[in-house]
Amino acid sequence: MNGFSLELPLTIIATLGAALTVTSARRGAWIALIIAVTAVALLEFHPTDTVPLTLVLRLAAIYGAILVALPPGLLTPRALIHDLAPRRIATTLTEHPVVAATAVAGLLLGAIPLALPIEGSSTLLRSAGVAMLLIGLPPLLTSRYVEATARAAVVTLSGALLLRGAILGPLDALSSLVIAGGFAALLLTGTAVAGQLTKAEEA
Amino acid sequence: MSDAQGLFILSAIRALAPLALALVSLAAVPLVSAERFGPSRLAATRARYLVVALLLLSGGAAFVAGAGVTSTFSIGEMSINPSQPGRLLVALGGPIFATIVSVGEGRRAGAMGQVALFGLAVIDIALAIPIGIAPIALLLVAGTSLAALAAGGKEDAERARAVFRDLRSAGVLITLTVVAELLRSAIPLSATDPTYATTASLTAGVALLLSLIVLTSIGAFPFHHRLVRIFDSLPIVGSLIVGVWIPAAITLIILSELSLLISAVREPIGGAILPILVATGAFTMLFGGLSALLHDDVGEVLGFFAVGSSGWLALGLAAVIIRPSTLAPHELVVPATLVISLFGIWRAAIRRRYDLVSLQDLTGWARHTSAIGLVLVGVILATIALPGGALWSARAEVIGASANVITVVAALASAAALVAAVLRVLLVGLSQKSREVERTQVRRVTHPVTVAMLAGTLLIAGAASGVIDVGSAASELLRPAPDATVVPGDLP
């Protein structure tokens, strides 16, 4: 992957995906999450000639957890076309102007250098990281829906990891393994608890 | 067998035994529950015996293999360095949770034993791996996953909501851990350019974030709600692992990290963090103690007792920031964990025998079942601890570090309130027997479960009060200070 040519589109995709994850309805949110975490992983691990094992591990853990969490038959080509249509995305974002404004503010805020020793820092990665933190944190703290909270947790944590990656580079193998497991655990626990709550409320 | 081979085997046992035994339980519990091993009505009993044996083995393996073996076990590029606190927690946790599972009995004893096995295995690994994001993130993720496992199997909305709260906390705390690690990694670089943040300000930022992680995970005020709900709704094994043991491991890691960080900075970094930590610690103790005294539900009484006990750890954080060389806060962690666990054994026994949750319905329980009464006497003795012993010195040092009369008064008052809360439960048990208590069948004192409960009480109360010296093993830093001498035997 050519880092210089793809960093900007990946930053936009990651931020847009994060915003749609916290604003879309159930299926759209899962699809947006898949796109957001893929863009974040590519930005964070920056694969060039070879694909790092840590990147494969991260994506495998999240995709696996989302596949388990998704109700069967939800991820169809028609659904993807419907949810990723530009008009649909624009409608969703205009219905949630605060989230859209937060995403833009995050991107701008991240472009300002932090008061940290950041000689090696990437502005685009930092922007995407700050934007995702700002997008994910409010629903993580306030949402009443378990699955939405789990998705917001993934967005927020991805933002923090991107911010960290902007300054210190990708995680070491052990931390990467733990974080990949953490992503999967957050999503699976969220799904299990949501199912348990639904059953308990129906009973 | 050569010495090197023996050392390698012992290191492998030490490093992997708790995890290996937890993994074994995944296959063994369903296997012994199968009909070919006996009638299906006894499946839960067989599973219980198995997990009790595995828990005892886990504790025993950590104890035996760890003694005197300070080697590092390497798997590829990853090294697992045996740590005193990790070994101590598993060595104590094995028999303690074996006792709780034995006393609690019940249909899900096998699953609860597995929750304990995995909880201890995660604590062991987290305290053994190098510092950074990994150990804290591992503990936080494991806590939420184990809470979900403990809550499973019952369509109970309260349980599900307790896990939901835990999931939310884990999401926030892992993010904070990543940000804290980012700032911590930037500290050595800060000296390179004076226009950026200073070393002291970065260290203060890390200390604030790490303190926030500890305060939230231990359930200090105002983050107590999660802990109380966990104790009120989850089974006791899950409550203790998620609400007490995993937070204790997180606290040990962070106390160790704060000691090393702050001792490397010349300027005082307390600033606004110290008054907040001292006030939080003192208020948490007072709030927890008084709330435990005023509540009627035994789960809530235990939950608020745990909240009150966590106040000591919050004060410990302040003490480490004031005097980074002090090891007194480290010495408070294990006894606090043991006292709450002993109270947990009491709750499991009461739940099994009476199936009542209200103290109003439980009047006369201690007169009816004196063996369970002895467990609560053990809790009281362990809470007070041996006067003049190491725990008293550690408490005095932690309170004294704040150098604040209000803190001293609040700490003494709340320590008295915590003892009074347990004493009140005992006095309820010594009053006139209620109808429900009267008609409950009593088990003879020589019953193996009762004997195990009393033996466990003696062990835990002795260890928590300082009669049996176990605290010293957890009062070490998880990794040596930079200027410390490295013993050649410690090298891989």
DSSP string, A101-129: HHHHHHHHHHHSPPSS--TT--HHHHHHH
Q: Is B186 in Cβ contact with A167 (below 8 Å)?
A: yes
Q: What is the pLDDT of residue B487?
A: 38
Q: Is A146 in Cβ contact with B157 (below 8 Å)?
A: no
Measure in Å the smallest separation between the Cα of A61 and chain B Cα atoms.
14
Which residues of A fall within a CB distance of 8 Å from B181? 164
Of A115, A163, A193, the CB nearest to B160: A193
Q: Is A189 in Cβ contact with B144 (below 8 Å)?
A: yes
**How many angstroms separate the Cα of B29 from the Cα of each of B43, B153, B250?**
9, 16, 29
Which residues of B fall within a CB distance of 8 Å from A200? 155-157, 160
Q: What is the pLDDT of residue B94?
A: 92
Asked if residues B314 and B463 have their Cβ atoms less than 8 Å apart, the reply is no
Of B132, B164, B190, the CB nearest to A146: B164
Terminal Cα distance for chain B, rounded:
20
Q: Is B164 in Cβ contact with A153 (below 8 Å)?
A: no
Please report the residues numbered 35 through 74 in chain A whose beta carbons come closer than 8 angstroms to any beta carbon of chain B.
Answer: none
Which residues of B fall within a CB distance of 8 Å from A118? 196
Which of left, alpha, beta for B323 (phi over 0: left; psi -120 to 50: alpha)? Answer: beta
Q: Is A193 in Cβ contact with B164 (below 8 Å)?
A: yes
Of B160, B168, B178, the CB nearest to A160: B178
Strand partners, B73: B80
User: Picking from A16-25, A127-136, B30-39, which range would have the lowest pLDDT averaged per residue?
Assistant: B30-39
Of B129, B155, B178, the CB nearest to A157: B178
pTM for this prediction: 0.90
Q: Is B171 in Cβ contact with A153 (below 8 Å)?
A: yes
For A194, nearest residue in chain B (alpha carbons)? B160
Which residues of B fall within a CB distance of 8 Å from A160? 175, 178-179, 182
Which residues of A fall within a CB distance of 8 Å from B230? none
Which residues of B fall within a CB distance of 8 Å from A173? 77-78
The single-letter DSSP state of residue B125 is H
Q: Which residues of chain B have pLDDT under 70?
A: 1, 7, 10-11, 13-14, 64-84, 130, 153-154, 193-195, 270, 470-492
Q: What is the pLDDT of residue B485?
A: 39
Please report the residues numbered 77 through 136 in chain A whose beta carbons come closer than 8 angstroms to any beta carbon of chain B.
Answer: 115-119, 133
Q: What is the pLDDT of residue B79?
A: 56
Mention every residue, 6+ apart, whose C-beta is less than 8 A from residue A45: A52, A54, A55, A58, A165, A170
Which residues of A fall within a CB distance of 8 Å from B122? none
Burial (CB count <10 Å: 0-12, 13-18, 19+), residue A195: middle
Measure in Å the smallest separation between the Cα of A170 and chain B Cα atoms.
12
Q: Which of B2, B143, B5, B10 is closest to B65 using CA atoms? A: B10
Q: Is A193 in Cβ contact with B148 (below 8 Å)?
A: yes
Q: How far apart are CA A182 and CA A171, in angstroms?
A: 14
Which residues of A fall within a CB distance of 8 Å from B151? 193, 196
Tokens of A8: 């900007």
A160 touches chain B (CB under 8 A): yes
User: Picking from A11-15, A118-122, B326-330, B428-432, which range would have the lowest pLDDT averaged per residue?
Assistant: A118-122
Tokens of B108: 């899900």
Section A169-193 average pLDDT: 89
SS3 state at B74: strand
A32 touches chain B (CB under 8 A): no
For A154, nearest residue in chain B (alpha carbons)? B171
Tokens of B400: 């004294």
Asked if residues B334 and B470 have their Cβ atoms less than 8 Å apart, the reply is yes
Q: Is A164 in Cβ contact with B181 (below 8 Å)?
A: yes
Residue A4 has pLDDT above 60, yes or no: no
Q: Is B171 in Cβ contact with A152 (below 8 Å)?
A: yes
Residue A119 has pLDDT above 60, yes or no: no
Which residues of A fall within a CB distance of 8 Å from B185? 167-168
Q: What residue segments make up the domains of chain A, in order of their start?
A: 3-202
Q: Is A149 in Cβ contact with B178 (below 8 Å)?
A: no
For A138, nearest residue in chain B (alpha carbons)? B172
A161 touches chain B (CB under 8 A): yes
Which residues of A fall within a CB distance of 8 Å from B182? 160, 163-164, 167-168
Which residues of B fall within a CB distance of 8 Å from A126? none
For B130, nearest residue in chain A (alpha carbons)? A174
